[in-house]
Each structure stands twice: as structure tokens, then as C-alpha cells.
Amino acid sequence: MSGTTFMSSSNLLLTSESVTEGHPDKICDQVSDAVLDAIIAQDPDARVACECATTTGLIIVMGEITTSAYVDIDKLVRQTIRDIGYTRAKYGFDYQTCGILISLKEQSADIALGVDKALEAKMGEMSDEEIEAIGAGDQGMMIGFACNETPELMPMPIVLAHKMTKTLSRVRKHGVLPYLRPDGKSQVTVQYQYGQPKRVDTVVVSTQHAPDVEQATIFRDVYEHVIKAVVPEGMLDDKTKVFVNPTGRFVTGGPLGDAGVTGRKIIVDTYGGIARHGGGAFSGKDPTKVDRSAAYMARYIAKNLVAAGVADRLELQVSYAIGVARPLSLMVETFDTGKISDERIVQIIDDLFDLRPAAIIRDLNLRRPIYKATAAYGHFGRDDIDAPWEATDMAEAVRRAGGLA
């Protein structure tokens, strides 16, 4: 979407979705990150690329892990499924009786060659202080985004969608709506006028439920305890379209209803489709994988730039080559909202932020077990988890550098 289109349109509808922690794909993300956390807690330098798949009565854990740590993965997987809420066979999935297959091997030695020592270090292009810098764990491009339309500096559609699915989970676990089951989705369409949210146009909530509950009861309860509890006052009106379980029934859910795979909800994980996406998933990957760490750094930079008033909306793209420490490219888009030129913004980023993988890991303190909490309800815009990429501690330095202080 061009900046001109976004800022000049008097009636633009933008939609984002979220899924609950009991969605099959999110089960897999949480299992992958639970394994990562358990390993990195014992061995901060571990190399982890843990994937997961699930279907009826089965979890498969696979990938490449190089570590000195020992983790009882079978036990860890069952604890994760139990915490999500699949505790009874009648829910279609049960942590005690599901089958678990584990197929793990060490990281490829060819990949390790580039990650252990960056190309620049091999060629003598780094100083002694920098010689330990690691290379990027893969090639690819990563996106960071921020906007000032919500306190989280995130797009409103994805903020509301996440809050709805999180509220669905909370009212289920706290017994407010005890007939709910772990699987569920939300979708929120927001109407924008000239770049600003005006109203919520459409809400869709689909939630797994017990078979003996009537559709009218589910609609009433979800509208009162989830939708109205989340949407800001004045954003719902008599023209807002609301759909709750629009098929009329959602009893079969979770892995019984659909297969799940790690990394299949990358738009839910990021900006809800409002910003571009580099393509790489996050969950199950240690911070040497720039798919994850550089995406976190790009969000950190974008958020600090918007917090500093450099732009109202800002998207950042950075790219890497495997085994090379320094980024290959850096691009900024401000959607016609920049207070200074995009070229000047790129220079500020170059001056204030180090985008080499080792520096990202150091500056965001990423060799810690902080990842499972990110695996449901989004990686960005969170103040309820330990997410150092959400800090705005560089905003004042950005203001000074941009002459905005």
C-alpha cells in the first residue's frame, strides 16, 4: 500500500486476524519455543531450530539442535499442551494420551561454519574487539514496523484481534465462560479515514465450545465478555457487523479438527498484514537466526523512530547473507508521514543501531529463555511479557540525531 493511498483515502478498510493458544498452529509454535527456552536456559550458546507438527492425537518434534543441555522433551511437550488447556479427551486432544514422536539431529556443519565466525572475521575485516562477531544464520529479509495509532505503536486491527483471542482464553481459563474450548480465532476490520482509525467495521469471532451450548448463548456471551470488553468506547456503532461462530457450530477443534505446523501464522505473529513480511517464521529458532533476531531489532528500531516523532508510520526492511555479519541492505518507508527525509532516517539508523547478529543478541539480551511467551498473541506490541525489542529507550537519542529534540 502506498503512502499516498493510505493517507488520502476517506474510506479504507484494513483487516487483521489472531488465533488462540489452542489453535493447532499455535500449539506447535508454543512447543517449539518451549523446547528453545528449556535448552537456552541451560546452554545460552545452543543452536536450536525446533519444528513441530500436530494432528489427531499426535505431536511430532523435529529439527536441528546442537547443545550441551539435557531436556526431557516428551515431558516438556505434555506440560505445554496441558497449560494450553487440552486436558480432557472430549476436547479432541489430551496431553496425557497423545502420541509424541521426536526426531532431532545436530545443526549442519556447513551452516555452523558461517555462524561461528563471520565472513568479515575470516577476511580480517574486523578489529580485535569485533573478531568474535557471528555471521547471520541464514539469508533473507526482515521487516520492522511501527505506527502511532495505538499506545502499543501497532496497527489497531491486529491489536484488537490479539486482545480478543487473549480474552477468549482468559474467560475460558477463569471459568467465566466454562463451556469454551481452547481453539479459536478472531478477525477485526477497522475503517480508516485519512490514515487514522475511525470505527470498527466488522468483527468475526470463532470459538470452540461444548456440544450442548446453543448458538444464541455463545453469541451473547462472546459479544459481552470479549468483543465489548476489548473494542474501545465509540469504535462500535449500529453499523458494525458482528459474526460469532458464523457456521453455527464449532465443537470439533484443535488437532482433531485441523493439522498444525510451526511457523504457519507469521502474519498473526507480526503486524496482521498491515506491513510487509520477510517470509521467515520465528518460533523454535535461537537468536543466531536472523529470521527472528533481526526482525526483533527491526521492530525495536521502527518503534523508537516513531516514538521519537520521526514519522507517524514507518516500515523498515533489512537483509542478510548467510555467514556474513553486516546487513546487505537497509530500506525505510514512511508512507508520506516522515518529518525528515528517508535518507536522513537511514543515516540515523546506521549511526545509532548495530544490525550485526552478535550486536543484536548483545543489545537486546536475547540469549535467555524469553521465547515461549511470544508464541501466542503476537511478538510485537506486548507489555505483558519480557520483550526488550518493545523498549523505547533510544527515542531521545533519535530525536537529537534528527534535530527534533
- Catalytic site residue 214? no
Q: Which one-letter amino acid corresponds to residue 217?
A: T
Phi, psi (rounded to 5 degrees) for 197: -65, 135
Catalytic residue among 21, 25, 201, 390: 25
- For residue 365 the three cell numbers come to 539480551
Residue 51 catalytic?
Answer: yes
What the block records as the C-alpha cell of 161 is 484481534
- Catalytic residue of the set 23, 162, 172, 209: 23
Q: Which of 51, 99, 50, 49 is nearest to 74 (CA)?
A: 99
Q: What is the mean pLDDT of each run of 10 residues along the chain (405 residues)?
A: 72 97 98 98 95 97 94 97 95 95 80 54 56 70 97 98 98 97 98 95 98 97 98 94 96 95 97 92 96 97 98 97 91 96 96 95 97 98 97 98 89
Residues 6+ apart with CB under 8 A from 114: 135, 136, 137, 322, 323, 324
pLDDT of the residue at 47: 93
Is 303 noted as a catalytic residue in this protein? Answer: no
Q: In whole angstroms, give the CA distance from residue 400 to residue 405.
A: 5
Of 26, 292, 299, 372, the active-site residue reads 26
Residue-level pLDDT at 121: 59
Let me know if 74 is a catalytic residue.
Answer: no
Task: Please tell me the distance from the alpha carbon of residue 204 to that of residue 164, in angstroms, as a whole number.
Answer: 10
Q: How many other C-beta atoms can be found within 10 angstroms of the C-beta atom of residue 151?
A: 9
- Count how many residues are written for the chain: 405
Given this model, what pLDDT does residue 9 score?
87
Query: Among residues 99, 98, 79, 95, which one has the least CA distance to residue 38?
Result: 79
Is 64 marked active-site? Answer: yes
25 catalytic? Reply is yes
**Residue 265 annotated to the active site:** yes
Contact assessment for residue 52 and residue 262, using Cβ atoms and an 8 Å cutoff:
yes
Phi, psi of 326 (to 5 degrees): -80, 140
d(C-alpha 209, C-alpha 310), whole Å: 46
Out of 6, 93, 145, 250, the active site residue is 250
State the catalytic residue, choosing from 265, 292, 313, 356.
265
Listed residue (106, 91, 117) closest to 24, CA to CA: 91
Residue 128, pLDDT score: 47
User: Known catalytic residue: 363?
Assistant: no
pLDDT at 2: 58
Residue 90 bears catalytic tag:
no
Is 21 among the catalytic positions? no
Which grid cell is 351? 549511526
| 109 contacts: CB under 8 Å, gap ≥ 6 | none
- Note if 185 is an active site residue: yes
Give the C-alpha distances (Å, rounded to integers) separating 228 from 24, 179, 231, 274: 27, 19, 6, 23
Cell triple for 114: 558461517
β-pair type (99-105, 58-66): parallel
Q: Which of 289, 292, 313, 356 is catalytic?
A: 289
